[in-house]
Amino acid sequence: MDLWITEYQTKNQKISCRVKETLHIEKSKYQEIVLVDTDEYGRMLLLDGAIQTTVKDEFVYHEMISHVPLFTHPNPKKVAVIGGGDGGTIREILKHKSVDKAFLVEIDQRVVELSKSFLPEISAALGDERAKVCIEDGIEFVKNQKNEFDVIMVDSTDPVGPAVGLFAKDFYRSIHDALGEDGIFVAQTESPFFNKELISSVFRDIKSVFPIARLYLCFVPTYPGGLWSFTIGSKKYDPMDVQEVITDGMGCKYYSREVHKAAFVLPPFVKELLE
Ligand code: AG3
């Protein structure tokens, strides 16, 4: 049998992976959730047809969304992830000994449940006693917090469907207020090849809300274009000036002190999007 799964990354470009086994397909209250086992990337989670994470390449994204802000903050204790129901970001956060509480705020309970069943390598940390899973709308959650968090990470899907509000200026304002006086916020901000306008407008908005705004890059083979961006809004600490980075014993496969620094070096075509 020749079974393939395809994501339309744009109207004119697709990525396909050979499927070893179809594990689960369902329509939840919010989206279509698909789990397949692929020959090239191992188990893979798709939401509304978009590849979210695979066992083989998830480490890049999860290490980069979490360790960059967490090593920028000198003593992160209370952290929240908005979205990220697969648990990969929480797993990386909990590698930081300073963290005593990590909230996962995911709107779709089924993403959490299915990740627990089918992606144990990614989701296992959700069972840690320092992790608290809240099934609710991230926008509402953040609105109700004031001066509470050291770091907030927005681990969202693409800016369509349930995630649209997570790319809005009002949301960045509520995040600003939910953070402590030296808090840091990071959001996944899509592909510099295919989402140029989004990157520009998100950067502008974050810059208007936070004194420090920075964009950094990493490489994720299964995401559109491969090159992927994150944007940081910070009240006090500049992630480009990071000093202490000690990753001993954390088992990082992509993140390191050198990669942290290098990730902020932007090619001119990306820099241009921020002007
Ligand atoms: N969230 C970002 C996925 C975006 C990928 N887009 C796409 N394939 N079109 C990843 C969630 C991992 N915790």
Q: Calculate how far, in angstroms, residue 224's C-alpha sits from the geometric centre of ligand 1.
A: 9
- What the chain holds in terms of domains, given with CATH numbers, is 4-53 (2.30.140.10), 58-274 (3.40.50.150)
Nearest alpha carbon, ligand 1 atom 7: 50
Q: Calculate how far, in angstroms, residue 260's C-alpha sits from the geometric centre of ligand 1.
A: 21
Mean pLDDT of 13-30: 98
- The pTM score is 0.98
Mean pLDDT of 189-193: 98
Say if residue 27's pLDDT is above 90. Answer: yes
Specify whether 100 is catalytic: no
Q: Is 123 in the pocket of ligand 1 (CB under 6 A)?
A: no
Q: What is the pLDDT of residues 148-168, one digit of tens each?
A: 999 999 999 999 988 999 999
Say if residue 238's pLDDT is above 90. Answer: yes
Q: Calculate how far, in angstroms, residue 157's C-alpha sits from the geometric centre of ligand 1.
A: 5
| DSSP secondary structure of the chain | ---EEEEEEETTEEEEEEEEEEEEEEE-SSSEEEEEEETTTEEEEEETTEEEEETTTHHHHHHHHHHHHHHHSSS--EEEEEE-TTSHHHHHHTT-TT--EEEEEES-HHHHHHHHHH-HHHHGGGGSTTEEEEES-HHHHHHT-SS-EEEEEEE---SSGGGGGGGSHHHHHHHHHHEEEEEEEEEE---TTT-HHHHHHHHHHHHHHSSEEEEEEEE-TTSTTSEEEEEEEESS--GGG------TTS--SS--HHHHHHTT---HHHHGGG-
